[in-house]
Amino acid sequence: MKRPTIHDVAAAAGVSRGTVSRLLNGDKYVSPAARVAIERAISETGYVVNRAARSLVTQRTGSVVMVLSEPHEKLFEDPNYSTLIRVAIRMLAERDLSLVMMMAGDEGDRERVVRYVRGGHADGVLLVSTHAGDPLLDALGGGPPAVSCGAVIGRETVIPYAAADDRLGARQMTEYFVGLGRRRIAMITGPMDTPGGIQRLEGFADVLGRKATQRLIAHGDWTQASGERAMTELLERAPDLDAVFVASDLMAAGALAALRAAGRRVPDDVAVGGFDDSSVAVSTHPPLTTIRQPLAEMAQETLRLLLALIDGAEHVEPVILPTELVIRESA
Q: Return the ∠ at Cα 121 (arms to 150 and 46), rounded to 5°.
A: 110
Helix axis angle, 17-24 to 6-13, nearest 10°: 110
CB atoms within 10 A of CB 183: 12
- Give per-10-residue mean pLDDT for the chain (331 aa): 80 88 74 88 78 48 82 70 88 87 80 81 84 73 83 72 94 98 96 91 96 95 95 96 97 97 97 95 96 92 92 88 97 93
- Tell me phi and psi for residue 290, to 5 degrees: -155, 175
Distance between CA atoms of 144 and 312, rounded to whole angstroms?
A: 11
pTM of this structure: 0.75
What pLDDT score was predicted for residue 52?
Answer: 46
* Other beta carbons within 10 Å of 9: 27
Farthest-apart Cα atoms in the chain, separation = 81
Domains annotated for the chain, with CATH where assigned, are 6-58 (1.10.260.40), 63-164+296-321 (3.40.50.2300), 166-292 (3.40.50.2300)
Helix, coil or strand: residue 92: helix
Say if residue 286 is preceded by a cis peptide, omega within 30 of 0: yes
Q: In the sheet that 63-68 helps form, which strands lie side by side, from edge to edge?
A: 98-103, 63-68, 124-128, 146-149, 161-164, 319-321
Q: What pLDDT score does 304 carry? A: 93
State residue 157 phi and psi, 5-degree precision: -75, 125
Q: Is the peptide bond before 145 cis (omega within 30 degrees of 0)?
A: no
What local confidence, expressed as pLDDT, does residue 202 receive?
96
163 phi, psi to nearest 5 deg: -150, 160
CB burial of 287-299 (b: ≥16 within 10 Å; e: otherwise) equals: ebbbbbbbbeebb
Q: Which residues contact 122 (CB under 8 A, 6 or more apart)?
A: 61, 63, 64, 65, 100, 116, 144
CA distance 218 to 212: 11
What integer pLDDT is reported at residue 51 of this predicted model?
A: 52
* pLDDT attached to residue 55: 46
